[in-house]
Amino acid sequence: MAQSDKQTKFILDENEIPTHWYNIVPDLPAPPAPVLHPGTGQPIGPADLAPLFPMALIMQEVSSEKTIEIPDEVRDIYRLWRPSPIFRARRLEKALDTPAHIYYKYEGGSPAGSHKPNTAVAQAYYNKADGTKRLTTETGAGQWGSALSFACALFGLECTVYMVKASYYQKPYRKSMIEAYGATIYASPSTQTQSGRKVLAESPDTPGSLGIAISEAVEDAATHDDAHYSLGSVLNHVMLHQTVIGQEALKQMEKAGEYPDVVIACVGGGSNFAGLTFPFVGEKLRQGKKTRIVAAEPTACPTLTKGVYAYDLGDTVGLTPLVKMYTLGHTFIPPAIHAGGLRYHGDSPLVCQLLDHGLIEAVAHPQLRVFEAAVQFARTEGILPAPEAAHAIRSAIDEALAAKAAGEKKVILFNLSGHGHFDMGAYDAYFAGKLEDFDYPDEAIAEALTHLPKVG
């Protein structure tokens, strides 16, 4: 019997923190669709992005190198929580009475409680090196806002966060954490920006959306010389930075002596999904592995399962370039579900391209079944998950139950992207029977899709 037959935790040495980020672009079957200027509809170049990002990040955004070296300063801070552990969920397996082996990579050990610092630290580093004084950003559930304010504190950068209003009130303590790290925070839409004021004039009671908050943060950076903008998901360089997760996971699964049949992560903008799965997609593309890669999203914001693959704006107001992605339309405002990090009308263009190529699949879960999975996981495995991550747990449990029904041994790996210590209001609402399922009506989505920009 191999030692791994009894082990439940698979860790790596500190010197096994990856030295390079993995870039999936050169492994893709086709080059990514170009990013277009929102005014001219023509492809944009690095110079067009210079008002928002330091050149080092722009070069990563358009890179076709296979790997990009991680600066020592970034790896030094990664040591606070990396390498992150992989656990075999033996108690959950037993509760489900499944022949499946369930593994999870746990990213909740970072100071901000999620995978987000993997890119926040890198972005703060390159901005500091570029002379940036202040970073602006948006945040949904607050995971990204706390991660960036944490990173800015460590590099001595100022930080301004526009937090989606629905989450700002649902998660007051995320706001407090962001302030504790020294950042300034506004509920979005705010009166701080022209974009915010425009939305407020039209819909004073809007719960806000990531699309609106992005408009505000982009406008703030674009109109202030010493400020740059920072995005916690969607963009290629963000996906790139997160690949430390999957690179570690590949090594850890080797230590476990198994290779996953299914790899699962939740998708909001795509960053934790890309982080875990891109290195496994790379193995599919290069080694012909048959691994299924599953993206789990909410039925309340079913971008990958009900959106269209088209050029759309990344924000609501129209300050960002046009990118080709699965989208529900940039005017789509999802209901205020408790997985605030998954309320985005689009998704990472790279993730969307993989779905278009048939290299990954997507599934949508209603809110109540997600919380049911979260509670079952907490009471068996002991870690209380963030509602976003619980979408991945739901999929993992569904896969494990399917394996049981089929009498198949199956190896499942999912990303537990964050803990739920800031989400207790959502758990309260769940236990009080106050949570509802949102199955966003097809007609509303169809209407939002009529607002897609015309291209070409």
Which residues are at the interface with its own copies (CB under 8 A)? 8-9, 11, 13-14, 76-77, 79-80, 87, 91, 109, 111, 113, 150, 153-154, 172-173, 176-177, 179-182, 375, 378-380, 382-384, 419, 421-422, 424-425, 427-428, 431
Q: Strands of 241-281 (E only): list them.
A: 262-266
Minimum CB distance to its own copies, residue 396 (Å): 18
**Distance between CA atoms of residues 242 and 430, nearest Å:** 31
Nearer to its own copies, 26 or 172 (CB): 172
Q: Between 226 and 428, name the residue whose CB sits nearer to its own copies.
A: 428
Residues paired with residue 298 on neighbouring β-strands, in sequence order: 365
> How far apart are alpha carbons 77 and 453 in whole angstroms?
41
Query: How near is the Cβ of 87 to its own copies at its closest, in Å?
Result: 7
Closer residue to its own copies (CB): 67 or 176: 176
CA distances from 346 to 51, 157, 270, 330, 401 (A): 23, 29, 9, 8, 30
Contact 66, 23 (CB under 8 A): yes
Alpha carbons 386 and 164: distance in angstroms, whole number? 17
Residues 6+ apart with CB under 8 A from 373: 390, 393, 394, 397
Task: Indicate the residue among 32 and 71 with the shorter CB distance to its own copies.
Answer: 71
From 406, 295, 404, 439, select the one nearest 360 (Cα to Cα). Answer: 295
Q: Are strands 20-22 and 67-69 parallel, antiparallel or unpaired?
A: antiparallel
Residue from 351, 419, 452 nearest 84 by CA: 419
Q: How far apart are CA 214 and CA 31, in angstroms?
A: 26
Q: Alpha-carbon distance 215 to 137, whole Å?
A: 10
Distance CA 290, CA 280 (A): 10
Q: How far is the CB of 317 from its own copies (least distance, A)?
A: 31
Q: Are 138 and 230 a contacting pair, CB within 8 Å?
A: no
Q: Which is nearer to its own copies, 75 or 324 (CB)?
A: 75
Considering beta carbons, is residue 8 or 194 the nearer one to its own copies?
A: 8
Closest CB to its own copies among residues 55, 180: 180
Q: How far is CA 198 from CA 194, 247, 318, 332, 452, in A?
A: 6, 43, 12, 16, 19
- Cβ proximity to its own copies, 51 vs 182, nearer residue: 182
Alpha-carbon distance values, 141 to 162, 168, 175, 340 (Å): 11, 8, 10, 4
> What is the smallest separation between the CB atom of 234 and its own copies, expressed in angstroms?
25
Q: Least distance from C-beta 16 to its own copies, angstroms?
A: 11
Write out the two tokens for 118. Answer: 């993997």
Tokens (6 digits) for 60: 């990563």
For the record, the structure tokens of 40 come out as: 């001219």
Which residues partner with 138 through β-bridges?
Answer: 162
Least distance from its own copies to the Cβ atom of residue 13, Å: 8
Pick between residue 50 and residue 424 the one whose CB is nearest to its own copies: 424
Q: Tell me the one-letter amino acid at 96.
A: L
Closer to its own copies by CB, 96 or 234: give it. 96
Rounded distance, CA 456 to CA 452, Å?
13
Least Å from the CB of residue 153 to its own copies: 4
Nearer to its own copies, 428 or 442 (CB): 428
We find the least distance from the C-beta atom of residue 436 to its own copies, in angstroms, to be 19
Instruction: Tell me how far CA of residue 315 lies from CA of 233, 260, 385, 448, 454, in angstroms.
Output: 13, 36, 28, 14, 16
Quick one: tokens of 2?
């191999």
Least separation in angstroms between CB 379 and its own copies: 4
User: In the 8-state DSSP scheme, what is residue 264?
Assistant: E
- Nearest distance, CB of residue 427 and its own copies, angstroms: 5
Tell me the closest approach of the beta carbon of residue 29 to its own copies, in angstroms: 40
